[in-house]
């Protein structure tokens, strides 16, 4: 009997959680699973999927107004697909699936996955997640820090820690050759990513290393503001906004530095890929604390306080001055690759799914 897994998510735009869904869907399809990706909004995937992976969409804008329609879509999805397992991959889809579970009986296993920083949610949403997640068959967290949050608040939940899988295509081979003079930053051009800090810090870094340039990859609502900031800082010849480009770390495996300045994150693929590519890194110690699970402070990079421009500048100068041992950076990159291998991550997910037989929980 073909085993069926439905991934349920808000959409399949070019984001970190969506990339994980695509990676897992590809891996399961190659193993003979029937895979469906069900979306609340949107009709297409920003990531390549094999022909065997089907997409379904409710074509709704997420929000309380459309919650009844979203629940009805989910109910129809379960009736028509009759999956062995549903794996939900966004806060909104988690809530939809769990409300349905409380209202109706379902024979499908329901695994929810928190892909965000629970500490930064508003209190109402925190309470909703803390109450609802305990009704899942399993709660997957990307990091120990997020798992610790839920261990204190969802004592009935079965909690698992599974980091994101690494696509080898996204990073290529680590390089032992001389570093370029390019600093890279990756992330949506939004308040969360705090690219203002990266630009301000880079201006000061160039006082020590005037030959450097910086490329910022991503798109978002702050594009015009950041463009003006670059102009006002007289950095137009040195800092460029490159837009959304796939596999940045493969293209820049010889980058001088990866500068990551987020205020908060879930489990950032960009940081994981930079570490796997062996690029010296300076990152903020963003909430909920995941940076230190990826970057070994003083080995393959430096972890600095959130918003700490002085600390970011000082750490960047140390990294650019050769204070990090290249052999240790490369050795750390191999540890990151090993821990995030797609096959290893897939096995962890399959262990969470358990025997893929139908399961009915008493409500």
User: Given the DSSP bridges, would you call strands 4-9 and 213-217 parallel, antiparallel or unpaired?
Assistant: unpaired
User: Which residues are CB-contacts of 96 (< 8 A; sequence separation ≥ 6)?
Assistant: 8, 40, 67, 70, 71, 74, 88
User: For residue range 61-91, what is the model confidence (pLDDT) as tens digits?
Assistant: 877 889 999 999 999 999 999 999 999 999 9
Q: How far apart are CA 228 and CA 226, in angstroms?
A: 5
Catalogue all structural domains in the chain, each as residue range(s) with its CATH number: 4-165+341-353 (3.40.50.2000), 170-339 (3.40.50.2000)
Q: Are 313 and 209 in contact (CB under 8 A)?
A: no
Q: Are 164 and 16 in contact (CB under 8 A)?
A: yes
User: For residue range 305-350, what is the model confidence (pLDDT) as tens digits?
Assistant: 999 999 999 999 999 999 999 999 999 999 999 999 999 999 999 9
Q: Which residues pair with 111 in a beta bridge?
A: 87, 138
- pLDDT at residue 358 tops 50: no
Helix (H) or strand (E) holding 206: helix 195-208
Q: What DSSP designation does 66 have?
A: G
- pLDDT at residue 357 tops 50: no
Q: Are 131 and 300 in contact (CB under 8 A)?
A: no
């Amino acid at each position: 009997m073909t085993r069926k897994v439905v991934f349920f998510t808000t959409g399949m735009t070019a984001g970190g959680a969506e990339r994980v869904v695509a990676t897992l869907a590809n891996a399961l399809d190659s193993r003979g699973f029937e895979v469906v990706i069900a979306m609340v909004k949107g009709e297409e995937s920003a990531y390549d999927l094999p022909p065997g992976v089907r997409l379904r969409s409710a074509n709704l804008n997420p929000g309380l107004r459309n919650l009844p329609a979203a629940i009805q879509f989910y109910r129809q999805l379960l009736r028509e697909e009759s999956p062995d397992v549903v794996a939900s991959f966004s806060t909104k889809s988690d809530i939809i699936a769990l409300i349905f579970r409380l209202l109706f009986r379902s024979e499908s296993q329901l695994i929810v996955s928190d892909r965000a920083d629970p500490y930064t949610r508003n209190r109402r949403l925190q309470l909703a997640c803390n109450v609802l997640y305990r009704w899942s068959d399993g709660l997957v967290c990307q990091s120990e820090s997020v798992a610790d949050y839920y261990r204190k608040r969802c004592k009935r939940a079965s909690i698992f820690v599974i980091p994101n899988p690494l696509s080898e295509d996204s990073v290529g081979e680590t390089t032992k050759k001389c570093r370029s003079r390019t600093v890279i930053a990756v992330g949506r051009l939004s308040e969360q990513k705090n690219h203002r800090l990266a630009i301000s810090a880079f201006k000061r870094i160039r006082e020590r290393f005037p030959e450097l340039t910086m490329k910022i990859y991503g798109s978002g609502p702050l594009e015009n503001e950041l463009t003006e900031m670059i102009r006002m800082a007289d950095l137009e010849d040195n800092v460029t906004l490159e837009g959304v480009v796939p596999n940045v770390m493969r293209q820049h495996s010889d980058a001088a530095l990866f500068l990551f300045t987020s205020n908060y994150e879930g489990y950032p693929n960009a940081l994981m890929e930079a570490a796997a590519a062996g690029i010296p890194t300076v990152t903020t110690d963003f909430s909920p604390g995941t940076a230190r699970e990826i970057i070994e402070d003083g080995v393959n990079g430096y972890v600095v306080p959130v918003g700490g421009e002085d600390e970011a500048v000082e750490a960047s100068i140390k990294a650019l001055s050769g204070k990090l041992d290249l052999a240790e950076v490369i050795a750390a990159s191999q540890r990151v690759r090993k821990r995030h291998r797609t096959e290893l991550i897939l096995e962890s997910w399959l262990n969470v799914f358990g025997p893929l037989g139908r399961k009915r929980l008493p409500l």
